[in-house]
Structure 1
């Protein structure tokens, strides 16, 4: 039981919630998020299996992180319908793959490209708020799934910036720092999954969504 993390439980609840609630046609991006979350849970469990057996799991973490970054970049495109977001998604994929296969290697976390990609995601999230408050007309943001998704991404990735820089050296840190870093990661993961649950639930009885342009 000690091996079960609280953020995994919240993640599982998010997966079940996402699959259980019927997605409205105006929120197509909500249909695939549960699939990504299920993949995330699977990767977490496999990575834990490798770690317990002292097998390097960074190749799995690297490849999944690229999928996750590109997926959420595409989700932001579906929300904003801005072509520049698609171009940024391609840039993220290219930078990450070059970093993984030509710079850091599969068995070392791709710190440079991950940090760069996270900055892009954070930028697009901030652009979303600008677009929403300056151009779009929304009756109630708290009932808008895109608002919660972008808020979750901003919280998750903005915090990731502080962790990414020490990821490859975390084993060399003092035990207190390792525990603190782990606690921050678990807390932020849990908050992110809770926000996604809200995004799934808030679409119920939603009457008006953000227009595409």
Structure 2
């Protein structure tokens, strides 16, 4: 997927999500709004990233700060909105804070934030997000969430599933690039393209998954 197509996918999700927002159930409003903000942020990040890359400007600082730290915070905040236990909500932000402190240490002493891609900072952030995905699915299986609902009509089930796929794949990809830098460039290029496709699908879910209540509830009514 080219960068232009990638931007188009994110923009389509953002526009579709904004339209759906005005017809959405009140119970989804807060999470929907946050994900629309996330989509707008990602679209601007990728647009600036494309521009800087075209001008051969080093954009490592941009992606390290915006993707690894800011976007991770937005996703952790999303899971906090889904969580009904106040103690766990606080724990989510405590764990994010610990990851952020580690990221500061990493930036100062191991991986300069403007010099290299900070995989050592991405790893704890990604593992935290995967842990929050696991917590969400556990609560669904235990019937703590949506016990009387058709699961296909729950937007968050789709969104969390795609977040899981993306972060599991991204941690594996960037870990491979970090520890096997001498790997064949053809493998890295092909894998990077796959990563962008998975990311595009995840961002599509951020905006379009909120149509599922209208689609599946009407279908099975």
> TM-score if structure 1 supplies the norm length?
0.85
- What's the CA shift for 1:184? 1.3
Aligned twin of 2:61:
59
Equivalent position of 1:175 in the other structure: 185
- CA contact 2:162–2:205 (8 Å) conserved in 1: yes
Whole-angstrom CA distance in 2 between matches of 1:58 and 1:110: 9
Is 1:86 the counterpart of 2:89 in the alignment?
no
Gaps of 5+ in 2: none
Aligned residues: 206
Take 2:148 and 2:8, find their aligned partners in 1: how far apart are those partners?
33
With over 3 angstroms needed to count, the CA separation of the structure-2 counterparts of 1:60 and 1:4, relative to structure 1, is: closer
Q: Tell me what 1:103 maps to.
A: 110
* 1:99/1:113 contact within 8 Å kept: yes
Distance 1:170 1:47, change over 3 A: farther
Is the helix fraction higher in 1 or 2? 2
CA shift, 1:168, in A, is 5.6
1:188 Cα deviation (Å)? 0.8
Match of 2:139 among 127, 131, 141: 131
**Alpha-carbon contact 1:118-1:157 (below 8 Å) kept:** yes
Distance 1:30 1:203 in 2: 13
What's the RMSD between the two structures over aligned residues?
Answer: 2.5
Map of 1:72 onto structure 2: 75
Q: Is the 8 A contact 2:35 2:207 kept in 1?
A: no
Task: Report the 3-state secondary structure (helix = DSSP H, G, I; strand = E; otherwise coil) of the residue aligned with 2:117.
Answer: coil
Moved more, 84-93 or 118-127: 84-93
CA shift, 1:104, in A, is 1.0
Residue equivalent to 1:192:
202
Cα drift, residue 205 of structure 1: 7.8
Cα shift at 1:3: 5.9
What is the CA–CA distance in structure 2 between the aligned matches of 1:159 and 1:3, rounded to whole Å?
Answer: 19
Task: For residues 161-184 of structure 1, give each alpha carbon's deviation from its aligned partner in whole angstroms, at most 9, with x where no partner exists.
Answer: 112224568986533123212221
- 1 CA distance for matches of 2:214 and 2:42? 25
Deviations 1:54-77 (A, max 9, x none): 211000001112111111011111
Q: Is the 8 A contact 1:155 1:188 kept in 2?
A: yes
Note closer, same or farther for the CA distance 1:111–1:100 as it changes in structure 2 (3 Å cut).
Answer: same
Unaligned runs of 5+ in 1: 208-213
Alpha-carbon spacing, 1:4–1:70, altered in 2? closer, same or farther (3 Å) = closer
CA shift in 2, pair 1:24/1:88, >3 Å: farther
